[in-house]
Amino acid sequence: MFHIGESWRGDAEALSRELAGVAGVHEASVLLADRVAYLKVSQLQWDETEVRRLIDATF
């Protein structure tokens, strides 16, 4: 689970798709009302750096 920036007004579906496209991410859901992104990842193979880059862009 990752927190989304409080003032971010982007497209939650688009961010979900971007996150789901990261290596090792099996599923991604962004819930804008709750300001969170939930990810299902392969613990050994996911690209945490890329996920954090996308999440950091919401702040």
The string of DSSP letters for 1-59 reads -EEPPTT--S-HHHHHHHHHTSTTEEEEEEETTTTEEEEEE-TTT--HHHHHHHHHTT-
Residues 19, 5: Cα–Cα separation, whole Å: 15
Q: What is the pLDDT of residue 40?
A: 98
Mean pLDDT of 42-57: 95
Reported as a pLDDT band with limits 50, 70 and 90, residue 42 is very high
Residue ranges making up the domain that contains 20: 2-56
Q: How many CB atoms lie within 10 A of CB 30?
A: 26
Q: What is the pLDDT of residue 59?
A: 95
* Number of domains comprising the chain: 1
Q: What is the pLDDT of residue 6?
A: 94
- pTM value surpassing 0.75: yes
Q: What is the pLDDT of residue 19?
A: 98
Mean pLDDT of 1-26: 97
